[in-house]
Structure 1
């Protein structure tokens, strides 16, 4: 079957060196634009992290607003903005963002853990425990969820269950080991097992990093330890 005159002309035009060069130019331009956008978003995310570390949560939220406007389907951006609202004490707004993150990605364990923290701050213990359990089911290596679940059980006065939780957490991973020892120690203290508490406080101080991030927490554990030692000395 012969090509028509128009088909021949179209084929010749497509194969013309100038047409190929123009096509390549546009493809390269589109790729460059895409790379610029990706680089810009990466810089935004770095800036979000920096502002969060500096305590400028409003600034971090403003940057996350831009990211969400560009990518309304990004569950992690909603999760991160919710975290900023949580640190500002805006629990209702934080939960709203966590709900949206979970709606977009029902397997995002961080969002369940973070929403549980909001529920815990509001005193909604049952909702918090449910979300911690979901986070752990989705990701058994989510040590923050394990730790927070133990703290919640302790707040409810369920000391034995809290201790079992901390014991199990210590067998899963060495991450957050210092904090787990400290929180287990405080649970022993509340249950009246002072010797076990003192031993765990010592373990915690040995395991906690000597960094600015943990300075305040180390100081709190040291105060817990000193308090018990003083009680023991005067008792």
Structure 2
């Protein structure tokens, strides 16, 4: 089973999600009580544009292991993507209760608070994510966006610059770098007119 999991991870890194999903399906057939494999397959379904299959797998993972914080985070991301923000916040909170060190959950919950216009709560979440000390590029980008939307432009520019400093010049973070650069341009556009 370990070699199937390694091969599935390799397929994900190559961007071959359909092969990775097939390998995870084999793993699930071999061990139908593996919450982690359901959660991982759900994430791949979600990233492949198959949200209902993703939701099924997240629910199955949580039936098997109701303490799997990453499954709550992933299911919350699904809920947020379909506009069910209250359900998303409930699942993010459950994930944080289980694992307060889950930085991605703090970031995702902060983004959801921001979508609801709850900027102070969003900033609290993003500050907590910064204190945990990983993914600084993502945290600064999202905190900058929150300041931007709240109208605190000096803090927004500062965080956007920090995000760009942390982001690699190329690679997997290209889309985030592009977002941050677009947000800066939007913010500075009135000053350039």
The one-character-per-residue Cα deviations of 1:108-167 (angstroms, maximum 9, x if unpaired) are 100000000011111110110000000011001100000000000011111121112212
Matched with 1:195 is: 154
TM-score normalised per structure 1: 0.78
What is the Cα deviation at residue 212 of structure 1?
0.8
Q: Deviations over 1:64-122 (max 9, x none)?
A: 11101111111100011101111112111111111111111111100000000011111
Q: Distance in 2 between matches of 1:194 and 1:216?
A: 22
* 1:204 and 2:124 aligned: no
State which drifts further: 202-211 or 183-192: 202-211
Q: Quick check: which has more Rg, 1 or 2? A: 1
CA RMSD of aligned residues (A): 1.3
Residue in structure 1 matched with residue 12 of structure 2 by the alignment: 52
* CA 43–211 in structure 1, closer or farther in 2 if over 3 Å, else same: farther
Shift of 1:226: 2.9
Aligned equivalent of 2:87: 127
Count, aligned residues: 193
Paired with 1:101 and 1:175, the residues of 2 have a C-alpha distance of: 26
Partner of 1:86: 46
Tell me the CA shift for residue 208 of structure 1: 2.2
C-alpha distance in 2, partners of 1:208/1:165?
21
Residue in 2 that maps onto 1:22: none
Mapped to 2, the partners of 1:183 and 1:76 lie a distance apart of 28
User: Following the alignment from structure 1 to structure 2, what is the Cα–Cα distance between the partners of residues 45 and 79?
Assistant: 13
Structure 1 residue 206 displacement after superposition: 1.2
- Cα distance in 2, alignment partners of residues 225 and 54 from structure 1: 32
In 2, Cα distance between the equivalents of 1:181 and 1:65? 37
CA shift digits 1:161-200 (9 cap, x unpaired): 11122122212x1101111111111111111111111111
2:174 is matched with which residue: 215, 219, 222?
215
d(CA) in 1 for partners of 2:74 and 2:169? 26
- How far the C-alpha of 1:211 sits from its partner, in A, is 4.7
Give me the TM-score of the superposition, normalised by structure 2. Answer: 0.95
Could you tell which deviates more after superposition, 47-56 or 132-141?
47-56
